[in-house]
């Protein structure tokens, strides 16, 4: 049954008091011609800010087709190269893996609260090569490597013990192995951007928003200002 549009509803939870954005400004003259250079500048500033305790945290969103259902999760951004932004995960059983198989487009969002900044990235995805995935996997702690082998990510578990048993099995499997190998189903996914927005909070919600846009990866970037 559809909701009655004339019915007045009382909120169950009220949001906290209004937060004012009043630290910095952003003008087109400050922007670098290449959005990846602009991102690098902002990301370095976020890393240098002691109050930004996890500047690499992102929201990664994907959408399943043909249903169009969207799913989001917090991940850690790991690498930026000339093509785009790379994350690492299980691409065999995870929800995001299923989404990407049906729809190769994805979006990521950075939010740096102390700097009052956001960066939104939209584009298409591609898997990095095996050598790149293995290079990163070898830098992970041993427990994380065994965990990657053990977790059938996003699949239903009977209980916690089932997961613990899988970890035990793989600890035994790789006992004496100095460097646990990278699973075939695990690796990097790169978001190749077609749109990157730089958002700087301003008072009264009159934020500064600039977007770099292109239709394909071979096109030049266009910079436009958006209304807040």
Give the length of the chain: 228
CB-CB contact of 114 with 48 (8 Å): no
Please enumerate, as own/partner, the contacts of 98-103 that have beta carbons within 8 Å and a separation of 24 or more: 98/64, 98/154, 99/62, 99/63, 99/64, 99/71, 100/62, 100/125, 100/189, 102/64, 102/65, 102/66, 103/62, 103/63, 103/64, 103/65
Closest CA to 115 of 194, 40, 28, 50: 50
205 catalytically annotated: yes
Region of residue 52 (phi > 0: left; psi between -120 and 50: alpha; otherwise: beta): beta
Set 205, 209, 213, 214: catalytic member: 205
Report the distance separating Cα 183 and Cα 196, nearest Å: 32
Q: Which residues are catalytic?
A: 205
């Amino acid at each position: 049954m559809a909701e009655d549009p004339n019915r007045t509803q009382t909120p169950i939870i009220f949001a906290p008091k209004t937060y004012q954005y009043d630290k910095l400004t952003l003008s087109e003259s400050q922007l670098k011609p290449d959005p990846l250079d602009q991102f690098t500048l902002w990301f370095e500033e976020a890393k240098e800010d002691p109050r930004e305790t996890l500047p690499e945290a992102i929201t990664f969103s994907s959408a399943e087709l043909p249903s169009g259902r969207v799913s989001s999760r917090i991940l850690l951004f790991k690498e930026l190269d000339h093509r785009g932004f790379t994350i690492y995960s299980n691409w065999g059983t995870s929800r995001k893996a299923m989404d990407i198989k049906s729809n190769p487009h994805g979006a990521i969002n950075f939010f740096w609260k102390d700097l009052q900044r956001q960066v939104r990235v939209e584009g298409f995805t591609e898997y990095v090569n095996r050598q790149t995935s293995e290079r990163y996997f070898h830098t992970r702690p041993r427990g994380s490597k065994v965990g990657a082998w053990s977790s059938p990510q996003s699949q239903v578990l009977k209980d916690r013990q089932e997961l613990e048993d899988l970890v035990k099995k793989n600890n035994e499997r790789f006992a004496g192995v100095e460097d646990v190998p990278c699973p075939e189903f695990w690796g990097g996914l790169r978001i190749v951007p077609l749109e990157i927005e730089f958002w700087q909070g301003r008072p009264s919600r009159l934020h500064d928003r600039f977007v770099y846009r292109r239709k394909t990866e071979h096109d030049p970037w266009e910079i436009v200002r958006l209304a807040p």
